[in-house]
A and B are shown apart, each in its own frame.
Chain A
Amino acid sequence: MMIRKLAVTVFLLALGTMAWAQGSGPVLVNGAGATFPDPIYSKWFDEYHKAHPAIQINYQSVGSGAGIRQLLSGTVDFGASDGPMSLEQLAQAKIKVLHFPTVLGAALPTYNIPGVSQELNFTPEALAGIFLGTIAKWNAPALARANPGVNLPAKDIVVIHRSDGSGTTYIWTDYLSKVSEAWRTKVGKGTSVNWPVGLGGKGNEGVAGLIKQTPNSIGYVELIYAVQNKLPYGRVRNAAGNFIRADLPSVSAAAAAAAKSMPDDFRVSITNAEGKNAYPISSFTWLLVPARIQDPRKREAITGFLRWMLKDGQKYAEPLAYAPLPREVIEKEMKAIAQVQ
């Protein structure tokens, strides 16, 4: 490794045309990860740049899996993920990684069925069946029973999932694993899984794009993507037995229970949450920040952003269909920022 690094360095110097430009000038912080919160992150980083012109935070929504991987290999300054890193991943990591929840979101079943404009109801069993491939037609009994009065076509269901490693997938499969034994044993949960059926789209954008272009399709996206693209989406039956539509109150309701018992490392799953009005496929989304940041300017930029995000940034959440963090969580996080050294 040393020799190769040396060789490459010599090669670069031999070019003699440019030096690594560093030192003065604007601070550029690079982050990568989840696509789920990309709409609000890009808004935040844009606003933060306007407020602090010397700081540019370049966030690329390449998927939660990529966020974790690139953070661990040190090619980005921070990562972002919708699924907390597993204990195994944390143990393997050479650096200590802190989780900071930023907002709450929801993954929801969105579909494109020509001729059906009603909001569909999905039972957990129906969702698991569709994504396992055991329910293959839109007029299958499991779907028809939950949707009386809707004229479901006798067409094949086109399942669309993420092709990249994704936190949205993590939330979705985390939920399916909780509600379906078959799913848990056959597929499991993770940022990318071995899908039994379907087409892959890259990113929340890619899935939403594919659904828009494919008749009789169903997929899962983060709330904002369905809202922005005016995709119809269904209600999901929660643990209390009510069909709940994903929106800010129902996502906040899911978070309310978790807020009081938030663990110190903020790694918590709130899918299939208790509560009469809780939307069952909700989740926090996290920024993954290394506990040690060598470059003091980058450290300042990141911690400064975290404080701004918790204080001023939360007001941007609701217009973009994310639920803001519960107050208890914000207070807890403010204290945790000091751990970044």
Chain B
Amino acid sequence: MNYRMEWRKAVNAVMLTLTGVCALLAVSVLFFILGYLVWHGGRALNWEFFTQLPKPVGEAGGGMANAILGSAKLLLVAALVGVPIGFFGGIYLAEFGGRTFAFLVRYTTDLLNGVPSIVIGIFAYSALVLPFRHFSTLAGAIALGLMMIPITLRSTEEFLRLVPRALREGALALGASKWKTILTVVVPAAYRGVLTAVLLAMARVAGETAPLLFTAFNNRFWSPGWSQPTASLPVMIYTYAIAPYEDWHRQAWAAGLVLLGLVLITNMVARGVLARGMSAQRS
């Protein structure tokens, strides 16, 4: 009996330690990735990287200025596409949605959320590139925008629902119409949460490569306007990483560091906003 108790205690200790090891392992991966990128990418980061165009194949030097601007342009339009649809769609679900239709919207949104990014790429190519006979910044941006919709939409719905009923009822009781209530009371109360979701969605699509391969394509130069191919950070990382040139590898690391830095900072800011927003709602 005593022996059995000892055994159970030993199992208890071993297994609990193991779970701790698992947690530590998972968490340390992030620090490993960060450390590795800082170590390899930090050395390759210089002024040129942010200001110069890529050099011809095999020549050392040059930078990714066009890719950085390209990514920014892509994200801007992606947000213009994804946020309105997600935001107003979310309002519909939270405030107006009936039973069947709302269910259908929710269902397709989840479906869209699960669509692999490469499939979005195929779709954008056949719907936005082929008919116009252009690889274009716009096509890539819309592909990314589509990927932002589900996150924005479902989060908007969730955060609007979190707004206390008393707030709405107060406004309605004062004689405000429903849309005025939504506009002046509900949305302001939930905007932090929605903003968080938008930031997180942008951080997610900022690193997407697959939908850009055959939509925004790539460009060695600055991309004028919106109807031309553009370089972007993720696609540059991909192209440079699989190439055999040491100098390109260095730049891939640098680009990786920049991209990861942006994504992580956005995430931290967003989650910070969320944390403050939630406590404000509670108080």
Q: Is the CB of A229 within 8 A of B225?
A: no
Given A28-B221, A228-B58, A21:B226 Cβ within 8 A = yes
Cβ 8 A contact of B135, one of A20, A39, A76, A229? A76
Docked complex Cα distance between A58 and B230 (Å): 10
Docked complex Cα distance between A33 and B242 (Å): 17
Q: Is the CB of A75 within 8 A of B130?
A: yes
Which stretch, B12-20, B212-220, B256-264, touches the partner chain A? B212-220
Q: Give the residue name and chain of the B residue nearest to A60 (CB).
A: B218
As a 0/1 sequence over residues 184 to 224 of chain B, the CB contacts with chain A under 8 angstroms (1 = contact) are: 00000000000000000000000000000000011111011
**B57, B220, B221 interface centre (most CB from chain A within 10 Å):** B57
Given A74-B133, A75-B129, A209:B219 Cβ within 8 A = no
As a 0/1 sequence over residues 243 to 268 of chain B, the CB contacts with chain A under 8 angstroms (1 = contact) are: 11100000000000000000000000
Which stretch, A1-9, A79-87, A118-126, A248-256, touches the partner chain B? A1-9
Docked complex Cα distance between A21 and B73 (Å): 14
Q: Is the CB of A39 within 8 A of B56?
A: yes
As a 0/1 sequence over residues 58 to 74 of chain A, the CB contacts with chain B under 8 angstroms (1 = contact) are: 11110000000000011
Question: Is A275 interfacial (CB-CB < 8 Å)?
Answer: no
Docked complex Cα distance between A208 and B246 (Å): 12
Q: Which residues of B contact A22 (CB under 8 A)?
A: 225, 227
Docked complex Cα distance between A45 and B226 (Å): 22
As a 0/1 sequence over residues 229 to 242 of chain B, the CB contacts with chain A under 8 angstroms (1 = contact) are: 10000000000001
Docked complex Cα distance between A212 and B248 (Å): 15
Docked complex Cα distance between A75 and B242 (Å): 25
Docked complex Cα distance between A18 and B141 (Å): 13
Q: Which residues of A contact B133 (CB under 8 A)?
A: 73-75
Q: Is the CB of B58 within 8 A of A206?
A: no
Q: Is the CB of A206 within 8 A of B81?
A: no
Q: Is the CB of A25 within 8 A of B224?
A: yes
Q: Which residues of A contact B226 (CB under 8 A)?
A: 18, 20-21
Docked complex Cα distance between A4 and B224 (Å): 26
Q: Is the CB of B227 within 8 A of A49?
A: no
Q: Which residues of B contact A28 (CB under 8 A)?
A: 221, 223-224, 228
Question: Is A203 interfacial (CB-CB < 8 Å)?
Answer: yes
Docked complex Cα distance between A32 and B220 (Å): 12
State how many angstroms separate the Cβ of B7 from the closest Cβ of chain A.
48
Q: Is the CB of B244 within 8 A of A212?
A: yes
Q: Which residues of A contact B128 (CB under 8 A)?
A: 8
Docked complex Cα distance between A212 and B133 (Å): 38
Q: Which residues of A contact B161 (CB under 8 A)?
A: none
Question: Is B275 interfacial (CB-CB < 8 Å)?
Answer: no
Docked complex Cα distance between A224 and B133 (Å): 33
Docked complex Cα distance between A28 and B220 (Å): 11
State how many angstroms separate the Cβ of A315 from the closest Cβ of chain B.
15
Query: Which residues 15-49 in B have Cβ within 8 Å of A in the complex?
Result: none
Q: Is the CB of A1 within 8 A of B131?
A: yes
Q: Is the CB of B217 within 8 A of A49?
A: no
Docked complex Cα distance between A341 and B227 (Å): 24
Q: Give the residue name and chain of the B residue nearest to A45 (CB).
A: B220
Docked complex Cα distance between A20 and B133 (Å): 13
Q: Which residues of B contact A21 (CB under 8 A)?
A: 224-227
Q: Is the CB of B135 within 8 A of A202?
A: no
Query: Which residues 103-146 in A have Cβ within 8 Å of B in the complex?
Result: none
Q: Which residues of B contact A228 (CB under 8 A)?
A: 58, 244-245
Question: Is A205 interfacial (CB-CB < 8 Å)?
Answer: yes
Q: Give the residue name and chain of the B residue nearest to A74 (CB).
A: B133
Q: Is the CB of B225 within 8 A of A208?
A: no
As a 0/1 sequence over residues 27 to 61 of chain A, the CB contacts with chain B under 8 angstroms (1 = contact) are: 01010100000110011011001000000101111
Q: Give the residue name and chain of the A residue nearest to B133 (CB).
A: A74
Q: Which residues of A contact B245 (CB under 8 A)?
A: 205, 228-229
Given A21-B226, A25-B224, A8:B131 Cβ within 8 A = yes
Given A22-B227, A203-B242, A58:B81 Cβ within 8 A = no
Given A56-B221, A58-B229, A75-B134, A8:B127 Cβ within 8 A = yes
Docked complex Cα distance between A58 and B217 (Å): 11
Cβ 8 A contact of B138, one of A12, A30, A46? A12
Given A75-B129, A228-B245, A42:B221 Cβ within 8 A = no
Q: Which residues of B contact A203 (CB under 8 A)?
A: 242-243
**B55, B223, B228, B242 interface centre (most CB from chain A within 10 Å):** B242
Docked complex Cα distance between A192 and B4 (Å): 65
Question: Is A304 interfacial (CB-CB < 8 Å)?
Answer: no
Question: Is A241 interfacial (CB-CB < 8 Å)?
Answer: no
Q: Give the residue name and chain of the B residue nearest to A230 (CB).
A: B244
Docked complex Cα distance between A76 and B129 (Å): 11
State how many angstroms separate the Cβ of A29 from the closest Cβ of chain B.
10
10 A-B pairs (CB sep. < 8 Å)? A8-B131, A22-B227, A25-B225, A30-B135, A38-B57, A43-B59, A205-B245, A208-B244, A209-B244, A228-B244
**Pairs A-B, 8 closest by C-beta atoms:** A21-B225, A205-B243, A208-B244, A42-B56, A74-B133, A209-B244, A39-B57, A56-B221
User: What 8 additional pairs, Cβ within 8 angstroms, besides A17-B77, A30-B217?
Assistant: A5-B132, A28-B221, A38-B57, A58-B221, A73-B130, A75-B135, A203-B242, A205-B245
